[in-house]
Structures are given as C-alpha cells and as structure tokens.
Amino acid sequence: MDKAVEIKKLYYKIDNKTILENINFEIYKNEFLAIIGPNGGGKTTLLKMIIGLLKPTSGKIKVFGLKPEEARKKVGYLPQRRHFDMDFPINVFETVLMGCYHAPLQDYTQEDKERVEKWLERLDIINLKDERLDNLSGGQLQRVFLARALVKEGELLLLDEPTSSVDPLFQERFYELLDELKQKMAIVMVSHDIGMVATHVDRIACLNQRLFAHGPPREALESIEDVYKCPIELIAHGIPHRVLREH
C-alpha cells in the first residue's frame, strides 16, 4: 500500500521530559485513522510533527516521501482551536481563504475563491461568509476552521479534535463527509470520542507517550486499558464506553 506518512524511531523530548518515545508507524493513502489516548499523551505533538511545526529530537518522519515542511502544500490541518487568537480582525471568508495559502507574496486565485465558496456551502456556513470570527458561536467557529483545513483539497487531512463543540446533527454529517473524502485522501483524526471513531475509522492508534497499539478498531481497543491506565468498559461493537475509575 502507498504510504502517506512514515515514522521511524521517533523521539520527542522537552526539558528532559519524554513526550514521544520510539514511535514507529505508517499511515497509508486513502485510510481513515484515529489517534486516541489520554490528555497529555502526545497526540497533538505528533500531528504537529507531521505538519512540520515541531521537529523530532531524534528519528525520522516523512510525508509523501518528503520532509514534513516540504509536503505542507499537500496537507490540510485543523489545529486545536484554543491556539487561535480570536481578537484578530478577520472574517469567515478570509479565514477559509488562508487555507489556500501558496507562498509569500503570491496572490490567491479566482479558483481559490471559488473553492472557498464551495466549502462554505458544504459545511453550511455560507450565510456567515462576511461575519467576523469574534461574532460566531463555538460550533460555528469549528466549522469555519474545518472549511479552512478542507479548502486545500490536499492528499492528507490532519484533524485535531474536529468535532469538539459541534452539534450532534453536524457531527453525523461530518463523519459522512469524511467517508466521502477518504476516497481521495488519507485522514488522521485526534479524538476523545472513542465510540464515534470506533464505528467510522479504518484503524485506531492508541498513544500515550508510546504507541500502544494500532490496527482495526476492535483489535486496537483491546489494549485500551493499558493506554488509559484505568479500566474502561467497551460495549460490544465498540460503541459507547465508560471510564470506571477516575484517572
């Protein structure tokens, strides 16, 4: 199978604290992969390495055979929203257009603008096109950032907790959209919604500093208690889950 991402012997340390330890892993084209694990387990850090925002302390990471920063034009990225400065005076259309960024001093094209319109329509936020971001609700904002990640129509889509704060109806539509998109691209999604991902993704990777398991949902979830370091009840078919003890 063709590889979108290849990770070998990857370590990441900050101030002598090991955040990621000996990660060996591949992500294939046209697969929908979820990364799950407890808070602070290193999921966001790993996504940032795939997009080239952070460099490994040691080890190798290749995206479509290139260094991550060289492959960026093929990669759409939805960061965790808390990192965005909401006071920045920018409207919805301009925010999504930023997702088409090519290179310094290179203007956006008419085609870029048409793609923005298309994704605003698809995510049902075309009516918000001229709104400033600080006027939007949390769920509306999340859709705007999703549109920004999707507008590039790249070959790899990285989503860091994409369904946080969107309503259940949109969540369902969003998963349908991802099912369609994975025909054309690889999708990597960080999520805490184990039940939801178990029913929608091809493969789950369980990360807590180390990669505990990766495989089809049922197989990967067998190691779930090791990953979370507490008992978790998984109802058959991998749907709802319950943490039985605080961790």
Ligand X SMILES: Nc1ncnc2c1ncn2[C@@H]1O[C@H](COP(=O)(O)OP(=O)(O)OP(=O)(O)O)[C@@H](O)[C@H]1O
In the complex with ligand X, which residue's Cβ is closer, 15 or 130?
Answer: 15
44 near ligand X, judged by CB under 6 A: yes
In the complex with ligand X, which residue's Cβ is closer, 96 or 196?
Answer: 196
Figure out which of the listed residues 1, 2, 16, 39 binds ligand X, where binding follows CB under 6 A: 39
163 near ligand X, judged by CB under 6 A: no
162 near ligand X, judged by CB under 6 A: no
Q: Mask of contacts with ligand X, 123-152, x by CB under 6 A?
A: ------------------------------
45 near ligand X, judged by CB under 6 A: yes
Using CB under 6 A as the binding criterion, the count of chain residues that bind ligand X stands at 10
Q: Segment near ligand X (CB under 6 A), from 40-48, 113-121, 127-135, 150-158? A: 40-48
In the complex with ligand X, which residue's Cβ is closer, 48 or 115?
Answer: 48
Figure out which of the listed residues 5, 42, 51, 79 binds ligand X, where binding follows CB under 6 A: 42
Question: What value, to the nearest 5°, has the Cα angle with vertex 237 and ends 235 and 240?
Answer: 40
56 near ligand X, judged by CB under 6 A: no
Q: Segment near ligand X (CB under 6 A), from 35-43, 56-64, 70-78, 168-176? A: 35-43
| Secondary structure of the chain as H, E, C letters | CCEEEEEEEEEEEECCEEEEEEEEEEEECCCEEEEECCCCCCHHHHHHHHCCCCCCCEEEEEECCECHHHCHHHEEEECCHHHCCCCCCCEHHHHHHHHHCCCCCCCCCHHHHHHHHHHHHHCCCHHHCCCEHHHCCHHHHHHHHHHHHHCCCCCEEEEECCCCCCCHHHHHHHHHHHHHHCCCCEEEEECCCHHHHHHHCCEEEEEECEEEEEECHHHHHHHHHHHHCCCEEECHHHCCEEECCCC
Site for ligand X in 10-29 (CB under 6 A): 14, 19
Residues that bind ligand X (CB under 6 A): 14, 19, 37, 39-45
